[in-house]
Amino acid sequence: MQETGNPFEGPQTKHETQDGVFSAEEVRLANRNSGAMLEMLSLDITPVGGHYLLTHFDVPLIDASSHRLRFEGAFDNPFAMTMDEIRAAPAITRTVTMECAGNGRAGMSPRAYSMPWLYEAVGTAEWTGTPLAPLIEKAGPSNAVVDFSFEGADFGYDKGVPHFFGRSLTPDELEALDVLLVYEMNGQPLLPQHGAPLRIIVPGWYGMASVKWLDRITALTDRYTGFQQVQTYRFRQTSDEVGEPVTAIRVKSLMVPPGVPDWITRKRQLKSGLVRLEGRAWAGATPIDRVEIHIGGDWHTAELAKPLGKYAWRGWSFEWWAEPGHYKLACRATDAEDNVQPLEPEWNLSGFANNAVQQVEVFVTD
Amino acid sequence: MQETGNPFEGPQTKHETQDGVFSAEEVRLANRNSGAMLEMLSLDITPVGGHYLLTHFDVPLIDASSHRLRFEGAFDNPFAMTMDEIRAAPAITRTVTMECAGNGRAGMSPRAYSMPWLYEAVGTAEWTGTPLAPLIEKAGPSNAVVDFSFEGADFGYDKGVPHFFGRSLTPDELEALDVLLVYEMNGQPLLPQHGAPLRIIVPGWYGMASVKWLDRITALTDRYTGFQQVQTYRFRQTSDEVGEPVTAIRVKSLMVPPGVPDWITRKRQLKSGLVRLEGRAWAGATPIDRVEIHIGGDWHTAELAKPLGKYAWRGWSFEWWAEPGHYKLACRATDAEDNVQPLEPEWNLSGFANNAVQQVEVFVTD
């Protein structure tokens, strides 16, 4: 069936990509999915409509009043909860920086044929909900449970495989992570495109773990084999490799592009003199240790702002006496475990977790 | 200076484009600017974060408490207003469908080198503010006024020309259009990226007229010559032509893609049987007369939903008995002035106002 381009039957067409050249299908994904406007990195909290969005299938529109979260499978006391019951459970709000695992994909060479993020798939929000662990405990998972799966109401095809978007966490991961069942973002009910009425947030991990439109949590005595868990979101060098799962967010930083932009190229113009460079750095649940700014051949140490929280990005700034000229500015973060951003992307087949340093092209005039 | 790619000095590099192939700069714009997810066309009102956004320069972050809207130039009683004063003026809410003038640009051949919209740059919101005309009247424009300019706080370069984003309307246009000074969207204060704290909405016109981050209104006794008024947003066949200005939104319709998607290609799969096709049609301030659906060689008349308001899109639906097969569905609207969507784009140099019919590729299975 390849001649009709039917993506719902295998085997699938293999898409080749060429550096610096993108297809209409990639542009369609870029138009549909929303990236951050980098100047809004100056805000501690990303406004709702400015937060990145990556939606695999269609946004399901769910009636909150009849929605139930079902706890199923190998639980001693499986149950279902209404949204009112979930809202009545103890509520906490966490400031969490979320980044798409595919952020930076278009910077890899060769790049995978998928959503062509450059730098934009990151945002920080205040997520309100109730901790998941006590509810799992209440449902009483059997001792034989090896995975909890989290499945959403969004359904579609990827590589010819029909599935609801779903992910899993092991009991150990669930214990180690502060997973929240979330119904509010920045103090407002979740919007449809952010997972209304209910999603999980897995702080410190790339965004694929934070399942939207959450429908059911299943306790499994065999490993979860959902498409989004085992067939993608893995670090692979070749397609026949099982690969390592993508999990915690790697250390990364971005700069608020200084000065003013050219509309199309997004290159920047600055007046010479004192310029305050600023941006954000993050590393999942690991604290940021330092940020360095690269200007004209030298690395300079930036000043770090007060932390916003364990899982939130950290502000940084650097005062630069800008002399006229043409610059490629860069910023590089190091976390408390001494992980440092690479200068070049660490390649993998699907283009995941590219944390190479960002470059910002700047023209300084008299 | 062309060898450094400095976009801040003329003359500018001419960018050639090739059909179906896009540059990294175009993808950067697509990642940065937000398009609608077409499935959300099923909603009468687009949620804030689902509304399209086209931002020429950087989003300025403005302190609402110190912001002043200045009425300047050839007014007898020029004044400035605080946000509190504007909010104290008579408030109305209008449901307005807004579309980017560049929507559909990537469907033209050859296409202009700019934001590569396919179909996504449209949304409908409830805009709350105060009518502009009484305030203009209060400021007392001189009889010699030929243009009112509206300038925002957003500044940058386009084709080497530095400018604040600005647009103008003639006294006649101002009288004919229900222009609103807007501070709320969907019942909430404007978000930074939608123009906070103040913007105008020019109902029925393409989005470029609805200036965001509104800073000053100037009464002019000579024609306004701002870049965004005279150097772009014009229908031109060649670059040495003055061209006609882009103004009212042309008749157009879009379909909610039926069935379920393939993640990358966005092609659709349906089960055979009864399928409800639905979507939206709009034509600025002109009512929609009819919508037709193209299936397998025939045009069928869709049912129109109740109108949402003079300036809002209109819902349509069609019940289709889908037999197994491979289809390219299309929808075509006609307005009350007998304007009908063309089957092929009407080409112009900058790729404006492409209202050619949308095609949705669907595979129907048993």
Question: Chain A residues with CB inside 8 Å of B197's CB?
Answer: none
* Residue in B266, B327, B260, B336 with CA at minimum distance from that of residue B300: B327
Cα distance between the two ends of chain B: 62
CA angle B347-B351-B352, nearest 5°?
100
A349: contact with B, CB 8 A cutoff: no
Which candidate from B35, B116, B262 shows the least CB-CB separation from A157?
Answer: B262
d(CA B190, CA B86): 14
Rg (CA), chain B: 21
Residues 197-256 of B with CB under 8 A from A: none
d(CA B73, CA B233): 25
Rounded to two decimals, the ipTM of the complex is: 0.96
Confidence of residue A15 (pLDDT cuts 50, 70, 90): confident
Taking only the tens place, the pLDDT of each residue in B100-153 is 999 999 999 999 999 999 999 999 999 999 999 999 999 999 999 999 999 999
B4: contact with A, CB 8 A cutoff: yes
Residue-by-residue pLDDT tens, chain B, 366 positions: 334 678 898 666 678 899 999 999 999 999 999 999 999 999 999 998 899 999 999 999 999 999 999 999 999 999 999 999 999 999 999 999 999 999 999 999 999 999 999 999 999 999 999 999 999 999 999 999 999 999 999 999 999 999 999 999 999 999 999 999 999 999 999 999 999 999 999 999 999 999 999 999 999 999 999 999 999 999 999 999 999 999 999 999 999 999 999 999 999 999 999 999 999 999 999 999 999 999 999 999 999 999 999 999 999 999 999 999 999 999 999 999 999 999 999 999 999 999 999 999 999 999
Q: Which tokens belong to A201?
A: 């947030």
Taking only the tens place, the pLDDT of each residue in B8-18 is 986 666 788 99
d(CA A304, CA A289): 9
Which of B4, B6, B8, B31 has the highest number of chain A CBs within 10 A, making it the mutation to test binding with A? B31
A4 pLDDT higher than 70: no
The total number of residues shown for chain A amounts to 366
Residue B303's DSSP bridge partners are B317
Give the number of beta-carbon pairs within 8 Å between A and B: 214
Q: What is the pLDDT of residue B2?
A: 39
Please tell me the distance in Å from A358's CA to the nearest CA on chain B: 13
Which residue of chain B has the CA closest to A161? B262
Exposed (0-12), middle (13-18) or buried (19+): which is A79, by Cβ within 10 Å?
Answer: middle
Domains in chain A (CATH in brackets) are 2-245 (3.90.420.10), 252-365 (2.60.40.650)
* Residue in A208, A210, A256 with CA at minimum distance from that of residue A232: A208
Q: What is the pLDDT of residue A318?
A: 98
Exposed (0-12), middle (13-18) or buried (19+): which is B244, by Cβ within 10 Å?
Answer: exposed
A48 contacts B188 by C-beta, under 8 angstroms = no
Which candidate from A50, A120, A257 shows the least CB-CB separation from B31?
Answer: A120
Q: What is the pLDDT of residue A262?
A: 97
* Residue in B303, B253, B256 with CA at minimum distance from that of residue B277: B256
Q: What is the pLDDT of residue B82?
A: 98
Please tell me the distance in Å from B266's CA to the nearest CA on chain A: 8
Q: Map tokens 């140490």 to a residue.
A: A301
Judged by CB atoms closer than 8 Å, whether chains meet at A47 and B193 is answered as yes
Which candidate from B116, B192, B363 shows the least CB-CB separation from A6?
Answer: B363
Which residue of chain B has the CA closest to A114? B264
Q: What is the pLDDT of residue A1?
A: 32
A1: contact with B, CB 8 A cutoff: no
* Max Cα–Cα distance, chain A, nearest Å: 72
Judged by CB atoms closer than 8 Å, whether chains meet at A25 and B264 is answered as yes
d(CA A248, CA B305): 47
Q: What is the pLDDT of residue A5?
A: 78
Question: Chain A residues with CB inside 8 Å of B186's CB?
Answer: none
Please tell me the distance in Å from A344's CA to the nearest CA on chain B: 18
Which candidate from A7, A27, A48 shows the least CB-CB separation from B265?
Answer: A7
B62: contact with A, CB 8 A cutoff: no
3-state secondary structure string across B209-267:
HCCCCEEEEEEECCCCCCHHHHCCCEECCCCCCCCEECCECCCEEEECCCCEEECCCCC
| Residue B109 phi, psi (nearest 5) | -140, 120
Residue A218's DSSP bridge partners are A72, A149
For residues A6 and B173, which has the higher predicted lDDT (pLDDT)? B173
Confidence of residue A101 (pLDDT cuts 50, 70, 90): very high
Which candidate from B56, B157, B191 shows the least CB-CB separation from A47?
Answer: B191
The average pLDDT across A148-170 equals 97
Local structure of residue A39 (DSSP, 8 states): G
Judged by CB atoms closer than 8 Å, whether chains meet at A49 and B193 is answered as yes
Which candidate from A26, A37, A53 shows the least CB-CB separation from B59?
Answer: A37
Question: Chain A residues with CB inside 8 Å of B361's CB?
Answer: 5
Taking only the tens place, the pLDDT of each residue in A66-91 is 999 999 999 999 999 999 999 999 99
